[in-house]
Structure 1
């Protein structure tokens, strides 16, 4: 698990450095452009990433120090402070807060990366460093896309994050997938991804779940792995769907899958 923690922390570093370089080059008017997140402009996405960095760092420090994790009131105070910032202040604050979190993860020695259990307020039990950093990587990678797509409609998730998140998406898919969006219909799919190549199953039953590849699927979805990840998080509009995405089925459409994964 230490290797996975190392890889995830490295991906957080490369992701931060990439987005930070983009943010430093933005003009004031760029910060108020619509982002890939439907209700947020670019500065609001950066505010979410910056406030999330503060909250994640506070959780990490509490776990390292053996103290209680910050409560909901702490989170609300952090969000309120960031909400009150100007677009320029959000951009500057993001650069500082994100760097602080990534640097703190990097400072953990090998033993700590293996043994530490991090308390996160939305999970019932503490998790290891690889999982905690992986959840942060998922949030960071997708919201980085929200920023980048404001300037490049063909933007894709970072390859370093994609490789790691592809193995992690099953942890949350039954929460983010909405089986009732199909109006009572059910189905099983084979998912085949490229970059990297994987093959597995998706069950659309009473719940949405990743399963073994079905012998007789109702549909076969072929897609770049980064788009599959974006599909599960609602970042799947037709204008941001590459030509390499295909769905072979008599009963399901891409729009059906978009309804199953409305985003959050």
Structure 2
């Protein structure tokens, strides 16, 4: 488990350093460009990441100090403060807040990375450092894509994050998948990715679940791993689907609401 935490924290550092370099290269007008998150401009994505870093840091400190998580009013006050910022303030604030969070993760020793449990308001039980850092990595990586795709429609997820995110895809797939999009049909899909190479199964029925690769699949999906991850979070529109994505089989098509996934909609800053 410590190895998974180490890998995830290293990916958070790589992602932070990369997005910081992107942000420092943006002009003021770039910050109000429409992002890959349909309801937000680039500065609002950075606001979401910055406020999330601030809230995440408070949750981590609460676990380390034994004081537990902050209440919902704390989160609302953080969001309200970031909402009131100008686009430039959001950009600079993101850099500072995310650096603080990443550095705090890096300061955790091996025993703490193994034994600490962090209470998150949206989960029923405390989770380990590898899991809470992995959830942040997923949010951070996909929102980094939201920023980049505003300027480059061929943008892909950060390579440093792809492997650790692929390993934890099952955590969110049941929540994000929309099985009703298939109109009651059931299908078992073999998923085969490259960069990195992985194979597993996707069960589309009453719910969406990650399973072992089926021996007799109804369809076979071949795709870059980073696109598969974008599919899981709804960032899979045809305009952002690379030529390497291929689906064989008559049971389902890519246009079946894009394999049962719908685009993510931002809920709050």
Q: Which bracket does the TM-score occupy, shorter chain normalised?
A: over 0.9
Q: CA deviation at 1:215?
A: 1.5
Match in the other structure for 1:84:
84
Q: Aligned partners of 1:85, 1:259: CA distance in 2, in Å?
A: 38
Q: Contact 1:35–1:41 (CA<8 Å) still a contact in 2?
A: yes
Q: CA deviation at 1:73?
A: 1.0
Superimposed CA distance per residue, residues 205-263 of structure 1 (whole angstroms, 9 cap, x where no aligned partner): 11100111111111110000000000010100111110000011212111215261113
Q: Contact 2:117–2:126 (CA<8 Å) still a contact in 1?
A: yes
Q: Aligned partners of 1:248, 1:110: CA distance in 2, in Å?
A: 45
Q: Aligned partners of 2:230, 2:183: CA distance in 1, in Å?
A: 23
Report the TM-score, using the length of structure 2 for normalisation.
0.96
Structure 2 counterparts to residues 65-76 of structure 1, below 5 A: 65-76=65-76
Structure 2 counterparts to residues 43-122 of structure 1, below 5 A: 43-122=43-122
Structure 2 unaligned runs (5+)? 265-269
Q: Aligned partners of 1:46, 1:256: CA distance in 2, in Å?
A: 32
Q: Secondary structure at the match of 1:56?
A: helix
Q: Contact 2:253–2:259 (CA<8 Å) still a contact in 1?
A: no
Q: Aligned partners of 2:66, 2:251: CA distance in 1, in Å?
A: 53
Count of residues paired in the alignment: 264
- Following TM superposition, the consecutive aligned residue runs of length 4 or more in structure 1 with deviations greater than 2 angstroms are none
Q: CA deviation at 1:186?
A: 1.3
Report the TM-score, using the length of structure 1 for normalisation.
0.98
Superimposed CA distance per residue, residues 51-76 of structure 1 (whole angstroms, 9 cap, x where no aligned partner): 00000000000000000211111111
Match in the other structure for 2:189:
189
Superimposed CA distance per residue, residues 106-139 of structure 1 (whole angstroms, 9 cap, x where no aligned partner): 1111111111111111111111111110000000
Structure 2 counterparts to residues 1-264 of structure 1, below 5 A: 1-258=1-258, 260-264=260-264
